[in-house]
Amino acid sequence: MTFEFDAPQEQATNLAVNRSCATCSGDRFVLYATRTDTYNGHSAEVEELAPCPDCNAGVKTQFERPNGSYFRSPDPAKVRERLTR
């Protein structure tokens, strides 16, 4: 008697990720800056990520803030400059 759960199971859940990028190791985003935010008297360090300039430079990250202004990711050339520091 064979049960369904005896069949070989797919172990990998994220096969589409390309881990060959030497810049981000497949994360698609890199650490761009850190800043300290304060809210209601509590402060926390916040990491700002930017699209990897080598494998994810074309991703659309722009969005409109509630006040009508737009967030835009830093230019890939600026991201690359930060990475080399």
Closer CB to Zn ion, residue 24 or residue 50?
A: 24
One residue of 50, 51, 52, 79 binding Zn ion per CB under 5 A: 52
- Does 79 participate in binding Zn ion (rule CB under 5 A)? no
- Interacting positions 30-49 with Zn ion (CB under 5 A): none
Task: Please report the DSSP string for 40-76 in residue order.
Answer: TTEEEEEEEEEE-TTT-TT----EE-TTS-EE-PPPH
One residue of 29, 31, 32, 54 binding Zn ion per CB under 5 A: 54
| Contacting positions for Zn ion (CB under 5 A) | 21, 23-24, 52, 54-55
